Structure 1
Amino acid sequence: MSPNGIRVAFSRFFHRWGPGVGIFVTGSVALWIVLLIVLPQLAMFDASFRFNLPPAEIGGPRDLHTLSNYAALLLDGRGGINWLDLGVLGRTILAAVFVTILDLLLCYPIAFVLAHGTSGGRARLMVLGLIVPFWVNEILRAFAFRIIFGSSGVLNAVGLGLGLWAAPVDFIRQDVALYAGLTYTYLLLMIFPIYNAVEALDRNQIEAARDLGSPWWRVHWRIVIPVAKPGIASGATMVFMLTAGALAAPQILGGPSSLWFTQLIYQWFNEGGNWPRGSAYAVVLLLACILVTLLAMRVFKVRIGEIGR
């Protein structure tokens, strides 16, 4: 959205709700953004350029800026490249892309059916069926997935009972449980943006295309998806960012070889006690996610204003 568009939106909001409500809402949003987003990010960015000093030396003559925390991510200390940490970062980004694509493939049909395939009580029942399971805490859902996909879990019990496989399958070690858990966790963040976009589509356009003999895939490709593209972009952005920054699910559902980059950040902050190094790793993850998102927006020709609708 352009600055002029933002001004018009604020003007309409103030005109509709009055100056009192307008000032309260605007001030609350500004306070939220500054205190909980901007200032913490600036503090973390500044800390990433500091040495890991004892509290008594912070602010003293040794408290200088340095690039050593970022160099530690690139170099292993022996003159070589730190392939371990860089590999974890790359795998995390690729895994987040995979989960985002999987969520899109699952959620697009659900959002379309919810918008144009149901109405009245059935639509409300479907929405409740989607929302109610998420009343359960994320940690409990992750442990539930571990029980389902464990060696002696429900899935293995059913598979062995039906003779689908001869021995228990280790879904945890193969990261099946991790990807399933992450995909499920962010379903709603993909469904509702697409639903909001598709709901605005005139059903007569779909009916006209069907009457003219267009197959279902062409109707979606030429009519529905162009309308749903802002919702798809918004949902994909949220799912990708949150998946790349997930910690609980990788800790609980991840196998021995599925180290997540957020786990490295957690280790530097808490186990290593090196907040500057952890801050540098967090900044790198944030910048990597932003670059991937901007690249995807450029490839699919989506503007930032469309995502914010």
Structure 2
Amino acid sequence: MNWFHTFLKRNGVGLSAYMLGAVALWIIIMIVLPQLFMLDFSFRHNWQQIDPSKMGGPEDVYTLVNYHFLAFGSPNNPDPFNVVDVGVFFRTILAAVFVTLFDLALCYPIAYYLAQVAKGGKARLLVLSLIIPFWVNELLRAFAFRILFGDEGTINALLIAIGLIESPIDFVRENVALYAGLGYAYILLMIFPIYNVVESLDKNQIEAARDLGASWWKIHRRVVIPFAKPGITSGCTMVFMLSAGALAAPQILGGPSSLWFTQIIYQWFNTGSNWPRGSAYAIVLMLTCVLFVLIVMKIFKVKIGEIGR
């Protein structure tokens, strides 16, 4: 409780009560209550379509039918499990993991350069060049990637011009455009958490390791990366959750066979008008994201308080 006494002493009783109350109210109204309502919905029958008169009646009881459908499909399903939905779920999770690792490999050197190498105007210019493209709406950026990776787009034109290929590659069908678009969409969420941590690393530690003959790789493996674990964990969790929960990018950049799990959820809520089933699918995705956060925290041996710094 030391943090609470420090917070109280720094801001005073009135301001502290207001700030904590506002945060608590925001969390309860915007996060906790919607998730509780969705959890309740996920255990309900879809009486709105079956028989609205039974809503609130003795037959309106909790059920696992929506979760059973996700796992095993309809009663007439000849397969031992719901091949389509379960397959899409695992493809989405694996794709989100790939995007997370791709962003980590791409953004770690950039974050390190910003924090420890770039100085003054060069650092500010680089930060500005990273931020400015994100002033454009997410949908417009997704359509820009669709054009960039199209059959007659810049990428194919460049590859044909230098003689690497003779005919255009269908980057959209091969999901290259989708992964590139997702990776680009969340790079700032990977760069800045790592940057914030690495910036506070004492340069003397790096210089000492270099003076002792440590190689570039060993300096990062033994000094920088262990110090940057909270930032890496924070970036990985945010990129994974947003990639797994993306909807606009898969709709615009995905190929015919690249159905995303969020698209199935959207279809149940809107096209299918089956809110209980859509809620069950959404709860499963949310719990998977929470599990991923716990696994990443376990791997990097980071506590939840360190992620939020």
Q: Same fold (TM over 0.5)?
A: yes
Letter of the structure 1 residue corresponding to residue 62 of structure 2: H
In structure 2, the residue matched to 1:135 is 135
Residue 97 of structure 1: aligned partner: 97
CA positional deviation for 1:56: 5.1
Q: Distance in 1 between the 2:255 and 2:185 partners?
A: 18
Aligned residue in 1 for 2:212: 212
Q: CA deviation at 1:124?
A: 1.1
Question: Any stretches of 5+ residues in structure 1 without a counterpart?
Answer: 1-6
Aligned residue number for residue 280 of structure 1: 280
Task: Determine whether 1:73 maps to 2:67.
Answer: no
Give 1:155 deviation, angstroms: 1.0
Q: Tell me the distance in 2 between the aligned counterparts of 1:123 and 1:269.
A: 45
Q: Deviations over 1:167-225 (max 9, x none)?
A: 01100000000000000010010001101110111001111111221110000000000
Alignment of 1:148-297 (within 5 A): 148-297=148-297
Give 3-state SS (helix, strand or coil) of 1:71's partner: helix
Deviation at 1:65, TM superposition (A): 1.1
Counterpart of 2:36 in structure 1 is 42
Structure 1 range deviating more: 76-85 or 25-34? 76-85
Q: Which amino acid aligns with 2:139?
A: I
Q: C-alpha distance in 2, partners of 1:258/1:292?
A: 22
1:56 & 1:135 partners in 2: Cα distance?
49
Aligned match for 2:47, one of 29, 34, 53: 53
Q: Provide the alpha-carbon RMSD of the alignment.
A: 1.2
Equivalent in 55, 61, 64 of residue 61 of structure 2: 64
Shift of 1:300: 3.0
Q: Deviations over 1:95-124 (max 9, x none)?
A: 111000000001100000000111211111
Q: Which residue of 2 aligns with 1:125?
A: 125
Q: How far off its partner does 1:13 sit?
A: 1.8
CA offset digits 1:218-247 (Å, max 9, x no partner): 000000001001100011011111111111
Contact 2:150 2:156 in 1 (8 A): yes
In the alignment, structure 1 residue 10 sits paired with structure 2 residue 9? no
Q: Aligned equivalents of 1:284 and 1:263: distance in 2?
A: 14
Separation of aligned partners in 1, 2:76 and 2:293? 33
**Partner of residue 17, structure 2:** 23
Residue ranges of structure 2 left out of the alignment (5+ in a row): none
Amino acid of the residue matched to residue 129 of structure 1? S
Deviations 1:142-167 (Å, cap 9, x if unpaired)?
Answer: 00000000111111122222222100
Report the Cα distance in structure 1 between the residues aligned to 2:54 and 2:149, rounded to whole angstroms.
Answer: 49
Helix, strand or coil: the match of 1:78?
coil
| Residues 278-304 of structure 1: per-residue CA shift (max 9 Å, x gap) | 000000111112122212322332222
Q: Could you tell me the TM-score, scaled by structure 1's length? A: 0.95
What is the one-letter code of the residue matched to 2:235?
A: G
Cα distance between partner residues in 2 of 1:10 and 1:92:
40
Deviations for 1:38-84, whole angstroms, at most 9, x for unmatched residues? 00000000000001112554323332211100000111223621121
Q: Which runs of structure 2 are paired with 1:80-91 in the superposition (5 Å)?
A: 80-91=80-91
So what's the TM-score if we normalise by structure 2?
A: 0.95
Give the Cα–Cα distance (whole angstroms) in 2 for the partners of residues 8 and 258 of structure 1. Answer: 50
Secondary structure of the equivalent of 2:270? helix
CA offset digits 1:224-273 (Å, max 9, x no partner): 00100110001101111111111110110011111110010000000000
CA contact (8 A) 2:237 2:296 kept: no
Higher mean displacement: 70-79 or 232-241: 70-79
Q: Distance in 2 between matches of 1:119 and 1:173?
A: 42
Distance in 2 separating the partners of 1:213 and 1:203: 16
Give, as a single letter, the amino acid of the residue that structure 2 aligns with 1:19: V
